[in-house]
């Protein structure tokens, strides 16, 4: 025979409202505190001399000026010209402030490098642009390790950074249409002090990376925006510190800080944060060949 319980049939103690919330919180709080903190991203590693081998690797002094440099790659080669400092930047995707140590010739002697392999990747033509860039960086890192005997390691340092955040009033970024055929395109052009960026179908992290190059300081995307956006930005860079005062009206325009807020609804806030830095332990000039 089934028994139906009503409030009258329950013991008096069970009919009282039970205040469990404080007890539950008290029990859960130690568990929450015991959760492991998010771990920082692992630091990159410097290339080993055995990372890659080349059938032909030519290294010669260059006639390029120290401020000029170039790099490119094909399915079976990597080519670079300029200072070894610039080549280290290229190989590891770093800004100048992320490299520490090394002799003076790293920044005032220039070199021409061409390294080739007999068996290029069979799927090279189908690789994405990012995959090809990664391959060329690995090859350049291998040349530096093999021919210049570069030995290095990475450290994390607390350095000045910028946080990219939403300005008052919110972002002024149109989402990229789903059927857009130009996703992932970003162009940054400069003529004199005039600069413009035109991006289609990019994440805000890509905009932050571009700003890092412009400002010479790591920029971290803190907007909280996800998805793909279109962005156009026009600004005027500051004149060099030793440049004479200019009255050229064509050079007038908003700074990148003002342009970001007015044109994209974004803002840069100064902060300090962890930045990976490549420390050069040793490096040698190679013999010519």
Q: What tens digit of pLDDT does each residue of 209-229 get?
A: 999 988 989 999 999 999 999
Predicted local confidence at residue 114, as pLDDT: 94
Predicted local confidence at residue 288, as pLDDT: 65
User: What 3 state SS string does 33-74 have?
Assistant: HHCCCCCCCCCCCCCCCCCCCCCEEEEEECCCCCCCCEEEEE
This prediction's pTM? 0.71
N- to C-terminal Cα separation, the chain: 99
Domain residues of the chain, as ranges? 56-156+276-282, 171-239+252-264
Instruction: Determine which of 32-46, 81-95, 147-161, 226-240 has the lowest per-residue pLDDT on average.
Output: 32-46
Mean pLDDT along residues 69-79: 91
Q: How much of the chain exceeds pLDDT 90, in percent?
A: 56
Within a 10 A sphere around the Cβ of 187, how many other Cβ atoms? 10
Q: How confident is the model at residue 242 (pLDDT cuts 50, 70, 90)?
A: low
Is the pLDDT at 282 greater than 60? The verdict is yes
Is the pLDDT at 79 greater than 70? The verdict is yes
Q: How confident is the model at residue 166 (pLDDT cuts 50, 70, 90)?
A: very high
Predicted local confidence at residue 212, as pLDDT: 92
Is the pLDDT at 94 greater than 70? The verdict is yes
**Tokens 């995307």 sit on residue:** 221
């Amino acid at each position: 025979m089934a028994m139906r319980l009503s409030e009258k049939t329950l013991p008096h103690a069970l009919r009282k409202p039970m205040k469990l919330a404080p007890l539950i919180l008290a029990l859960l709080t130690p568990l929450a505190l015991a959760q492991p903190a998010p771990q920082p991203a692992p630091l990159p590693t410097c290339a080993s001399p055995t990372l890659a081998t080349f059938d032909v690797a030519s290294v010669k002094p260059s006639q390029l000026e120290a401020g000029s440099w170039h790099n490119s790659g094909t399915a079976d080669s990597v080519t670079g010209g300029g200072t070894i400092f610039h080549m280290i930047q290229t190989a590891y995707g770093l800004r100048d402030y992320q490299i520490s140590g090394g002799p003076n010739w790293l920044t005032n002697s220039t070199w021409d490098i061409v390294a080739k392999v007999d068996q290029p990747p069979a799927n090279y033509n189908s690789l994405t642009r990012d995959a090809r860039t990664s391959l060329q960086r690995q090859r350049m890192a291998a040349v530096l390790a093999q021919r210049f005997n570069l030995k290095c390691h990475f450290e994390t340092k607390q350095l000045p950074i910028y946080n990219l955040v939403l300005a008052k009033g919110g972002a002024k970024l149109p989402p990229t249409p789903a059927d857009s055929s130009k996703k992932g395109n970003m162009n940054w052009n400069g003529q004199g002090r005039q600069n413009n960026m035109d991006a289609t179908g990019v994440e805000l992290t890509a905009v932050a990376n571009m700003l890092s190059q412009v400002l010479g300081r790591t920029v971290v995307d803190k907007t909280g925006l996800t998805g793909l956006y279109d962005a156009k930005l026009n600004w005027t860079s500051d004149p060099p510190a030793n440049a004479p005062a200019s009255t050229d009206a064509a050079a007038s325009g908003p700074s990148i800080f003002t342009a970001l807020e007015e044109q994209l609804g974004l803002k840069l806030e100064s902060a300090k944060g962890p930045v990976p830095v490549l420390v050069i332990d040793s490096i040698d000039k190679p013999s010519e060949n």
